[in-house]
Chains A and B, each alone.
Chain A
Amino acid sequence: MATRTIVPFGPQHPVLPEPIHLDLVLEDEKVISAIPSIGFIHRGLEKLVEKKDFLEMTYVAERICGICSFIHGQSYCQAIEGVMKIDVPERALYLRTIWGEMSRIHSHLLWLGLFADGFGFESLFMHSWRVREKLLDLIEETTGGRVIFGTAKVGGVRRDMESLTLKRVEDELKIIEKMSHELTDVFKKDSSVKRRTVGKGVLSKEDAITLGAVGPTVRGSGIASDMRKLGYAAYGKISWEPVIETGCDCYARCMVRCRELYQSFDMIYQAMAKIPDGPVDVKVTGNPNGEYFARVEQPRGEVIYYVKGNNTKNLERFRVRTPTFANVPPLVKMLGGCELADVPVIVLTIDPCISCTER
Chain B
Amino acid sequence: MSFFKKSPWVIHYDGSSCNGCDIEVLACLTPLYDIERFGIINTGNPKHADVFLITGTINEQNLEVVRNIYNQMPDPKVVAAIGICATSGGIFRECYNVKGGVDTAIPVDIYIPGCAVRPEAIIDGVVAALGVLEKKAAALKTMKASA
Contacts and interface: CB of A to CB of B under 8 A. Distances in A.
Contact of B62 (A11, A67, A129): A11
Contacts, number: 120
| Contact size range, A | 35 or more
Contacts of B21: 66
Contact of B96 (A47, A125, A147): A47
A145 B24 CA distance: 12
A65 B32 contact: no
A65 B20 CA distance: 7
Interface in B21-46: 21-27, 30-32, 43-44, 46
A278 to B, nearest CB: 31
Contacts of B19: 17-18, 65-67, 353, 355
B97 A147 contact: no
A147 B115 CA distance: 9
A322 interface: no
Contacts of B147: none
B8 interface: no
A14 B95 CA distance: 28
A110 interface: yes
Given A67-B19, A67-B23, A126-B30, 13 more contacts: A17-B19, A17-B23, A43-B92, A43-B97, A43-B98, A44-B95, A48-B94, A59-B91, A67-B20, A69-B18, A110-B23, A129-B31, A355-B16
Which 3 pairs between the two chains have the least Cβ-Cβ distance?
A66-B20, A14-B44, A129-B30
Interface of A: 11-14, 17-19, 39-45, 47-48, 51-52, 59-60, 63-67, 69, 110, 113, 125-126, 129-130, 133, 145-148, 353, 355, 358
